[in-house]
């Protein structure tokens, strides 16, 4: 069972209790925990997005460096053949 389903099941179970302050407190805590989890998830999604962008830039840089190495190797061969 995923975390959200588990949380929802706990909230539904708590709502069956008959209006005790414990029930209201539990729901408040559960809602607060759920909001914190949503914020953490959004932060992780943003970090993953930023990491993906960095990876793409690094892959492009690797490609450029490989092309530069190939060009320099060709220049060196031409120089040695001269």
Q: Where are the domains of the chain?
A: 54-81
Report whether pLDDT(3) > 90.
Answer: no
pTM for this predicted structure = 0.55
Alpha helical stretches, state H, the chain: 3-16, 21-81
For the segment 16-57, what is each residue's pLDDT rounded down to a tens digit?
A: 665 555 556 666 777 778 888 899 999 999 999 999 999 999
List CB contacts of 44: < 8 A, sequence separation 6 or more.
Answer: none
């Amino acid at each position: 069972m995923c975390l959200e389903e588990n949380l929802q099941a706990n909230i539904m179970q708590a709502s069956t209790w008959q209006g005790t302050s414990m029930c209201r407190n539990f729901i408040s805590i559960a809602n607060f925990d759920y909001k914190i989890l949503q914020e953490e998830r959004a932060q992780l999604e943003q970090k993953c997005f930023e990491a993906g962008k960095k990876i793409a830039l690094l892959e492009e840089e690797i490609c450029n460096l490989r092309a530069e190495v190939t060009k320099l190797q060709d220049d060196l061969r031409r120089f040695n053949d001269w």
